[in-house]
Structure 1
Amino acid sequence: MKMSLKKIAKALLITTFSSAMLMSTAHANNPPPTIKADAPNRYIVKKGDTLWDISGRYLDSPWRWKEIWATNKQIKNPHLIYPNDILILCVIQGKTLIGVDTGEGCAGIEKQLMGDVTASAVTVTSTANSIPPIPWSAIQHWLDKTIIVDPQDFNTTPYILASKNRNLITASGDKVYAKGVPLIVGQRYGIYREGERYVEPKTQKVIGLEVTQVATGLVTSTESNGVTSLQLTDSYGKEVREGDRVFVELDNAIPPVFYPTPASVSRGGMIVRVMDSISSAAKGSVVAINLGSTHGAKPGDVLTVYQKGPLVRDIRDNDTPVRLPNEPSGMLMVFNTFEHISYAYVLDSELPLNVGDRLLKRQIQYKVLR
C-alpha cells in the first residue's frame, strides 16, 4: 500500500522529533561522573600510586576519569602523572575538573586548558617514572616472557632434541640441538615451554596455547639431517628441556602508556582461568578471559564481572526452580591481548571471582520517553 506525500512528511517529522527526544534524554541520563563526597581538593601523588587508585579517590566511576581530566594542550602526553605532582579539584566554566597544579592553582589549569597552542610549543614528556594504570609488579610476569600462540603453528616448529652434555641446561653458554625445519645460521631464536591450553567454553574448541620463553639461543650450524646447533645466550629462570620448541622471538610489548577506559568489545565473555591459583580471584589477581583482539579487546579496557545468579525454589509454584539475575561482583582491566585470549588485572571485587563468571562492558542505560 502506497503512502501519500503528506503522510510521509508527517512520519519523517515524528521520527525526527522522536530521535531528538531520545538524544536529549540520553544526554540527560548520561551526566558527568560523580565526584565522591570525600574527594580531596588537593592530593600529592606518591610513589606506588596507580592511575586507578587516584581515579578512585575522586570518582565513584573511576573508569570515566578522562571525562573530568583537565588536559594540558602544551603536553604531548597530557594524561601522564608523576610522583610529587599536586592534583587539584577545580570548577572551570561550570565543569568540575582535576588537573596538575603548576603553581598558579585553578587559574593555571584553566590557562593550560584553554590556551592556544602551536606545534613548536608542545612539550614531549617521558613515560619513565610516570604513574602506571595498575601495579606493574602484579603483571610483569605475564608481560615479559609469556605469550599465547596458535597450537597448530606451535606444533610445526623445531623442538629441542638433546644437549651437548646430555643433561638439563641451566646457564647461558651451553649448546643444544634442535630438530625440524632448518634454522638460519647467525639468527637468534627463542626457546619456549608449552603451558596451558585455552578452550572456548561453549564450543570446547582450543583457541590458544600459553607458552613461556625459557631461553634464547644463537644458531651456529645446521646439518642435512635437520639437526640445528644453538648456543644459549640467555636463560630466564628455567632449564631447557628436551621437547621445548624453537622459533623466532616474539615481541610481547604492550603500549608504553594505556589508561582505564570503558571497553568497546564486540561481545561478552567470561573468565577462563585464574592465574597462579586453582581457586578464586580477588583484587590484585590476574585472570585470563576469552576476549581477544579479534573481539576488539585492547589494553586499558575495563569490564564488569557478573556472577551467575543462584537457583531458588518458588514455594508458591510447586517449588519450581527459578534462576535469580546475574549480579555484578567486580571489575577488571585488560593489560595484554592476543587473538582470542587476553590477560586482565582485577581492579575491584565484592565477592571472590571464579572461572565461568561473565564479563560485560560498561553500558550507560538510556530511558526512552513514551
Structure 2
Amino acid sequence: MKRSLNALVKILLMTAFSSVILMTTAHANNPPPTVKVDAPNRYIVKKGDTLWDISGRYLDSPWRWKEIWATNKQIKNPNLIYPNDILILCVIQGKTLIGVDTGEGCAGVEKQLTGNVVASTVAVTSTANSIPAIPMSAIQHWLDKTSIVNPKDFNTTPYILASKNRNLITASGDKIYAKGVPLIVGQRYGVYRKGKPYVEPKTQKVIGLEVTQVATALATAVAANGVTSLQLTDSYGKEVREGDRVFVELANAIPPVFYPTPATVNRGGMIVRVMDSISSAARGSVVAINLGSTHGAKPGDVLTVYQKGALIRDTIDNDTPVRLPSEPAGMVMIFNTFDNISYAYVLSSELPLNVGAQLLPPPYL
C-alpha cells in the first residue's frame, strides 16, 4: 500500500512538472501577435487617444502591444507616445514592428531599436502629456478620493463629534471636532465617509471597506479631554457628517504610466460590484473585482470577462436543465489595486457585464 501510494505521488509530481514544461514551451514557441490586415501603415496620434485604442488599431490582441512596439534605447521612457507623434508600421529583421517616425522612416526606427543612434546622454521625456493607457477622466475619482481599507483599522480612527455651529452642511473654513486618539496639531488630515463593505462571494468573509474622502482638515488644537479641533480646508462635493472618520490622507500608489499587459494573477476572479450603477457595466464603466495585490494583481493587468451560460431545458432529455458554457463577453484593465480588491476599467463589452461575471487572464494567442 505504501509503495503504491509513493508511486501515485511520483506520477502526480511528474504530471504537474510536465504541465509546467508544456506551458513554458508553449509560451516560448508562441508566434508573434498577428497585426490586423487593415492596420494603418502611418497613424498620427491625436489628443484624446488612448494606448488601448491605438493598440486596437493594429492588433486583435491589444494587450500584446509591447511585443510589437519598437522602443528607443536612447530615451529613458521609451514606451511613451505623445499627440502628433507619427507611428509607422515597419518590418525590421523579419519582425513587424511599430515605431515613431523621426523623419527617416523605417530606417530611423531600426536605428533606435538597435541602438545605432549617436547620443551623448540618454534623453529623459516627461510623462505629463503622454497618451494614457485608458481615459484618465473616467477613473480619476477612483484614483483620488476613493480607497479600500481594513474595516477593523477604520473603526479605531477618530470620528467627527460635531461642528462648531452644529451645521448640517459644512464648508471650507468651518470648524469641526473629532473624538478619539488625539491628532497632531498642525497636521493635515482627510475626513472619510464609510461606504459598503466588500464580501468574498465564496466565503462571505469581509475583505475590505470602501471609504470616500469628503474633506481635508487641519488640526488646530487638542483639548484636555482629548477632543481635537480641526478647520476644514477643502471639501469634495459632500458635507462632513457626524460619525465620519479622520485620519492621515491616503495616497494611492499608482504608477505615473502603466501599460495594458496580460494579467499574471494566481487565481481567477469575478466582478463583485459595478461602480456608480445598480445594474450592469458596459465599455467605459468602472467595476470592482475580487483580485488584489495579494493575488498578484497590478495596474495595467488585462483580464477577460466570461458571462455564465444560460440555463436551458433539454427537450430531448425530459426537459433536463443544462447550463451552456460560459462565453467571453468583454475585457477589463486593472488601474488601482488594494490587498484583496481592485478597481478595473471596462475596455470592451459585447454584452452587459454583471456582478458575478468570471475573470481570467486573456489567452496568450
* Corresponding residue SS for 1:36: coil
In 2, Cα distance between equivalents of 1:269 and 1:173: 44
* Corresponding residue SS for 1:138: helix
Kept in 1: contact 2:188–2:248 (CA 8 A): yes
Equivalent residue, structure 1, for 2:255: 255
1:200-215 superposed matches below 5 A: 200-215=200-215
What amino acid does structure 2 have at the position aligned with 1:108? G
Equivalent residue, structure 2, for 1:272: 272
What amino acid does structure 1 have at the position aligned with 2:84? N
Equivalent residue, structure 2, for 1:139: 139
Kept in 2: contact 1:145–1:252 (CA 8 A): no
1:182-221 superposed matches below 5 A: 182-221=182-221
Q: CA RMSD in A?
A: 2.2
Kept in 2: contact 1:271–1:287 (CA 8 A): yes
Q: Against the structure 1 CA distance between its residues 24 and 254, is the aligned structure 2 distance closer, same or farther, given a 3 Å change threshold?
A: closer
Q: Against the structure 1 CA distance between its residues 237 and 183, is the aligned structure 2 distance closer, same or farther, given a 3 Å change threshold?
A: same
In 1, Cα distance between equivalents of 2:20 and 2:297: 30
In 2, Cα distance between equivalents of 1:352 and 1:231: 45
Kept in 2: contact 1:143–1:253 (CA 8 A): no
Kept in 2: contact 1:331–1:349 (CA 8 A): yes
What amino acid does structure 2 have at the position aligned with 1:168? L
Deviation track 1:193-218 (CA, whole Å, cap 9, x = no partner) reads 11121111111111111111111111
Equivalent residue, structure 2, for 1:34: 34
Between the two proteins, what is the percent identity of the paired residues?
Answer: 83
Equivalent residue, structure 2, for 1:286: 286
Deviation track 1:17-45 (CA, whole Å, cap 9, x = no partner) reads 999998666555x2111111110000000
Any stretches of 5+ residues in structure 2 without a counterpart? 4-17
In 2, Cα distance between equivalents of 1:240 and 1:61: 46
In 2, Cα distance between equivalents of 1:91 and 1:344: 34
1:362 Cα deviation after fit: 1.8
1:162-173 superposed matches below 5 A: 162-173=162-173
TM-score (norm 1): 0.90
Equivalent residue, structure 2, for 1:56: 56
Kept in 2: contact 1:163–1:169 (CA 8 A): no
1:24-103 superposed matches below 5 A: 27-28=28-29, 30-103=30-103
Q: Against the structure 1 CA distance between its residues 21 and 294, is the aligned structure 2 distance closer, same or farther, given a 3 Å change threshold?
A: closer
Deviation track 1:139-198 (CA, whole Å, cap 9, x = no partner) reads 111111111111111111110000111113432111100001111111111110111211
In 2, Cα distance between equivalents of 1:87 and 1:237: 41
Structure 1 stretch displaced more, 184-193 or 63-72: 184-193
Q: Against the structure 1 CA distance between its residues 147 and 25, is the aligned structure 2 distance closer, same or farther, given a 3 Å change threshold?
A: closer
In 1, Cα distance between equivalents of 2:21 and 2:62: 30
* Corresponding residue SS for 1:140: helix
1:327-342 superposed matches below 5 A: 327-342=327-342
Structure 1 stretch displaced more, 91-100 or 210-219: 210-219
In 2, Cα distance between equivalents of 1:21 and 1:212: 46
* Corresponding residue SS for 1:233: strand
1:230 Cα deviation after fit: 0.6
Kept in 2: contact 1:286–1:343 (CA 8 A): yes
In 2, Cα distance between equivalents of 1:242 and 1:270: 35
Equivalent residue, structure 1, for 2:7: none
In 2, Cα distance between equivalents of 1:19 and 1:362: 18
In 2, Cα distance between equivalents of 1:182 and 1:269: 41
Structure 1 stretch displaced more, 228-237 or 286-295: 228-237
* Corresponding residue SS for 2:309: coil
